[in-house]
Amino acid sequence: MDSQDAVDMGRQAVVVALLVGSPVLLAGMVVGLIVGLLQAVTQIQEQSIAFLPKLLAMLLTISLLAPWLINQMVQYSHDLISSIPTKL
């Protein structure tokens, strides 16, 4: 294995991590923005109000996208493990 192979494997790991984590983080960010706007409009400045909607949105996103997320991680693991004999 040369240095280019190590860089490619690291790059692929980062891409898969971003691909798997992005939908959940995006859902939390969108719900947080909406709750923040509602808090600004109503002038309710309680920090704990935003926690539950974000948590529920993130859990809903995980439950809806779980098959796809697991498929992405399994595919990456399969590709990584199957490439071991060619890298040695």
**Tens digits of residue pLDDT in 15-62:** 999 999 999 999 999 999 999 999 989 988 888 888 999 999 999 999
In a domain, 29, yes or no: yes
In a domain, 87, yes or no: no
- pLDDT computed for residue 67 by the predictor: 96
Number of domains observed in the structure of the chain:
1
In a domain, 58, yes or no: yes
- pLDDT computed for residue 4 by the predictor: 87
In a domain, 85, yes or no: no
Q: Using an 8 Å Cβ cutoff, are 76 and 12 in contact?
A: yes
Residue numbers of the domain that contains 30? 3-80
In a domain, 86, yes or no: no
DSSP state at residue 83: T
The SS3 of residue 88 is: coil
Rounded to whole angstroms, the Cα distance separating 77 from 27 reads 26
Candidates 32, 26, 33; CA nearest to 65 is 26
In a domain, 46, yes or no: yes
Rounded to whole angstroms, the Cα distance separating 33 from 82 reads 42
pLDDT at 6 over 80: yes
